[in-house]
Amino acid sequence: MHENITLLRPDASRPRDPHRISSVFPPDIMDQVRRRVRLLALLMTVAFGLDLVVYGANLTLVLLGDPPPDDLAEPWAMLVNLGAVSASMGLLWVVRNERVSASRLHAVGLGYQIMICFSIAITSFSQYYVTTGTLPNLTWVPAMIILFPLILPGPPNRMLAAAIAAGAMAPVALLSLDLAGKVAADSEAIFQVSIHSAIAILFAYTGARVVYGLGQEVTAAREMGSYRLVEKLGHGGMGEVWRAEHRLLTRPAAIKLIRPLATADASPDASDDLRRRFEREAQAIARLRSPHTVELFDFGVAVDGAFYYVMELLDGLDLDTFVQRHGPMPAERAIYLLRQVCHSLSEAESCGLVHRDIKPANIFLCRYGEDDDFVKVLDFGIVKAVRESAATGTLMTQDHVIHGTPAFIAPEQALGYVDLDGRVDIYSTGCLAYWLLTGQLVFTAETPMALLVHHAHTPPAPPSQRTELPIPPALDRLVLSCLAKNAAERPQSARELSRELAAVELAREWTQDLAGRWWREHRPG
């Protein structure tokens, strides 16, 4: 880790190629663009298709002997409609094809805009003239020109060129119809159509600049040092977790954004103090090298004051989700996972750190390299140094505030004690074991405060009484010892707990072969 914290500033953003749409708009926004373009293409397909259906129905009636209606379109006009339907269906195919890049989609979309404006102009002028003998005062071409930069945003100059080309389709279509003798259009009518297009082009260019600028702002706001935010993975009480990508290495990562705990009247000195505390905390976490502790790549402070961690991106599921989907697990597998948790906590203890929020949602089970059922301990966000005084408390560990999750909190935490050590993590690990073995919480209550009272005073029922799965008596006793109200009666360290877990006699051991078989059956992807 570097000695100084990374402080992001607006001028630290990466250079962008204005001709590459993907360099301006994040992938999730481009996904929204794809959905909008797909909806537009679908609407155009239906609109022009309905004209073909109506024309086909009228033509069938004429062939059966009915007199032709006064507004029956000419066959060449239907060929224009057919071309518009074909182009719309082609755009639908391009949008649905994920292999088509954002830049290619944008080029195809702008070409579609020009073609569809010509089709709208031809059909509007010709059909209105056939029906009324006059030209319409306004067509849908200006609306299409104005809406397109909002549906498919892009660099303003490129959008202006496409808008000019699309706007020119209205007077070109009218002049073509006049030369072909299909309508009677004088110079005033062509001038009026041109004015309508010019006004629409002006609005389109203004809209393109606004949307493009917003896209740049969103992209810049999502840049965290060398990383770019790609997709939100989840959010919680302390912040958000995003899938991210290194700008140069294209290495995937997970970024946790943590909201600053500053008040509205916080002074600059207080903000600097917050940043120093966050830096001290992140550097403490970065010292951890256990393979079962999530690896911290980087940390920093964003322009808006949000703190962030850059961590390795894992593929799997947390133990809260695991039990909810698959139910409680056999004792041998629970022990196999708990010992890995102990490995992470033991190193944290040796560095004088207490996690203080061990719970199923913070224990991630994954496939890691060649290993299955590999555990990663997450979210050291409220970690606390054992020898830390109240004056030097870390950013996320202010005194006189109860930290942790009520369903997995140690009695001394629930009672608000300041001098906490690694035995609070032993208690939470006991709650975790209880969840894995039974699929139930140690205590349930209607309010968080009632849960705190239970953890502080209520004796827990043995896990063997809360499940039909067999639990070895030694493991039953060990879990209850972890849940002792008096910290002196618990295993005194994660290393000691790991040894006691290893000493439990089991009918069979959980192995990599068994783990691999489970993953192949339940999560083949």
Q: What is the domain count for the chain? A: 3
In a domain, 15, yes or no: no
The count of other CB atoms within 10 Å of the CB of residue 396 is: 21
Looking at the structure, tell me whether residues 62 and 116 fall in a common domain: yes
Residue 245 sits in the same domain as residue 280: yes
Residue 431 inside a domain? The answer is: yes
Starting at the earlier edge strand, list the strands of the sheet with 371-377: 316-318, 363-368, 371-377
Residue 79 to residues 30, 75, 115, 263, 392, Cα–Cα distance (Å): 33, 7, 14, 66, 78
Contact 103, 154 (CB under 8 A): no
> 197 and 346: one domain?
no
- 300 and 419, same structural domain? no
379: phi > 0 → left, psi -120 to 50 → alpha, else beta; which? Answer: left
Q: Which residues are identified as catalytic?
A: 357
Tell how far CA 389 is from the center of its chain. 38
Within this chain, do residues 407 and 447 fall inside the same structural domain, yes or no?
A: yes
Domain boundary among 178, 199, 221: 221
Q: What is the CATH number of the domain that holds 230?
A: 3.30.200.20
305 & 335 share domain: no
The pLDDT of residue 73: 66
Residues 290 and 337 in one domain: no
Among candidate residues 118, 119, 138, the one with its CA nearest the CA of residue 128: 138
The reply to whether the predicted model has a pTM over 0.75 is: no
**Across the strands, what pairs with 253?**
244, 312
Euclidean distance between CA atoms 275 and 281, whole angstroms: 10
Degrees to nearest 5, angle at CA 448 with 491 and 348 = 35
Closest CA to 479 of 432, 415, 423: 432
User: Are residues 380 and 483 located together in one domain of the fold?
Assistant: yes
- The pLDDT value recorded for residue 525 is 54
Both 505 and 437 in a single domain?
yes
Instruction: Report the alpha-carbon angle 87-26-8, nearest 5.
Output: 160
pLDDT value of position 400: 43
Would you say residue 190 lies in a domain?
yes
2 located within any domain? no
CA atoms of 511 and 333, how far apart (whole Å): 9
**What pLDDT does 4 receive?**
33
pLDDT, position 200: 94
In tens digits, what is the pLDDT along the chain, a chain of 525 residues? 333 333 333 333 444 444 455 555 666 667 778 888 888 889 889 988 888 888 788 778 777 777 766 666 677 878 888 999 999 999 999 888 878 877 788 889 899 999 999 999 998 898 888 888 899 988 889 999 999 888 888 888 989 999 999 999 999 999 999 999 889 988 899 999 999 999 999 999 999 888 887 776 666 555 556 777 777 887 765 577 888 877 677 678 888 777 665 434 445 554 566 666 667 667 777 788 899 988 888 887 766 667 787 888 888 889 999 999 999 999 999 999 999 999 999 998 888 888 888 999 889 998 888 889 999 998 765 455 444 443 334 334 444 445 568 889 899 888 888 788 889 999 999 999 999 999 999 998 888 898 899 998 999 999 999 998 999 999 999 999 999 999 999 999 999 999 999 999 998 999 999 999 999 888 755
Distances (CA, A) of 322 to 140, 364, 435, 519: 54, 9, 11, 12
Q: Last residue of a domain, which of 166, 201, 221?
A: 221
Residue 492 is assigned to a structural domain of this protein: yes
Rounded to the nearest angstrom, the gap between the alpha carbon of residue 66 and the centroid of all alpha carbons in its chain is 59
pLDDT at 335: 95
Q: Smallest Cα–Cα separation from 405: which of 426, 440, 376, 431?
A: 431
C-beta of residue 234 within 8 angstroms of C-beta of residue 244: no
Burial class (CB in 10 A: 0-12, 13-18, 19+), 303: middle
| Structural domain range at position 115 | 21-221
Q: What CATH number should be reported for the domain holding residue 498?
A: 1.10.510.10
Give me the helix-helix angle, 102-132 and 27-63, nearest 10°.
30
* Residue 114 phi, psi dihedral angles, 5° rounding: -65, -45
10 found inside a domain:
no
Q: Which tokens is 525 given?
A: 């992807």
Measuring CA to CA, which residue among 364, 367, 346 is closest to residue 288?
346
The encoded tokens of residue 152 equal 């498919």
Do 295 and 182 share a structural domain?
A: no
- Indicate whether 308 and 202 sit together in one domain: no
- Cα separation, 79 vs 83, whole angstroms: 6
Indicate whether 243 and 336 sit together in one domain.
Answer: no
The last residue of a domain, from among 267, 292, 312: 312
Q: Phi/psi of residue 370, each to 5°?
A: -90, 0
